[in-house]
Amino acid sequence: IQWPLSIVISRKALTKYQLIFRFLFHCKHVERQLCGAWQMHQGVRALNSHGTAISRSSLLCRSMLRFINSLLHYLIFEAGFFVLEPNWHVMHGRLQTAKSIDEVIQHHDFFLDRCLKECLLLLPELIKKVEKLKSLCLQYAAATQWLISSSINIPKLDEQSDGSVGSGKSKQWKLKNPSQAQKAVTRNSAVTDSILKFEREFNAEVQSLRPILSSSSQAQPFLTHLAQWILGVGNEP
Domain boundaries, the chain: 5-152+174-232
- Report how far apart, in Å, the C-alpha atoms of 158 and of each of 42, 154, 166, 169 are: 20, 11, 6, 11
Query: Does residue 25 register a pLDDT over 60?
Result: yes
pLDDT of residue 155: 40
pLDDT above 90 (res 193): no
pLDDT at 44 over 50: yes
Q: pLDDT at position 166, please?
A: 43
170 or 36, which is more confident? Answer: 36
Would you say residue 177 has pLDDT above 90? no
Give the percent of the chain with pLDDT over 90: 23
Q: How far apart are CA 173 and CA 168, in angstroms?
A: 15
3 band by pLDDT with thresholds 50, 70 and 90: low
Arithmetic mean of pLDDT, 43-51? 61
Across the range 113-117, mean pLDDT stands at: 86
CA-closest candidate to residue 230, choices 212, 45, 219, 218 = 212
From first CA to last CA, the distance across the chain in angstroms is 52
Question: How high is the pLDDT of residue 157?
Answer: 34
The sign one gets for the Cα dihedral 165, 167, 172, 174 is negative
Confidence (pLDDT) at 163: 47
Q: Which of 177, 161, 188 is nearest to 47 (CA)?
A: 177
Higher local confidence (pLDDT), 87 or 121 = 121
**Residue 160, pLDDT above cutoff 50:** no
pLDDT at residue number 132:
96
Helices (H), the chain: 5-8, 11-43, 53-72, 79, 85-96, 101-118, 124-149, 178-186, 189-219, 223-230
Cα distance between residue 130 and residue 138, in whole Å: 12
- Using the 8-state DSSP alphabet, how is residue 102 labeled? H
Model confidence, pTM: 0.72
Banded model confidence at residue 233, pLDDT cuts 50, 70, 90: very low
For all residues of the chain together, what is the average pLDDT?
75
Length in residues, the chain: 237
Confidence of residue 29 (pLDDT cuts 50, 70, 90): very high
Count the neighbouring beta carbons within 10 Å of the beta carbon of residue 215.
Answer: 13
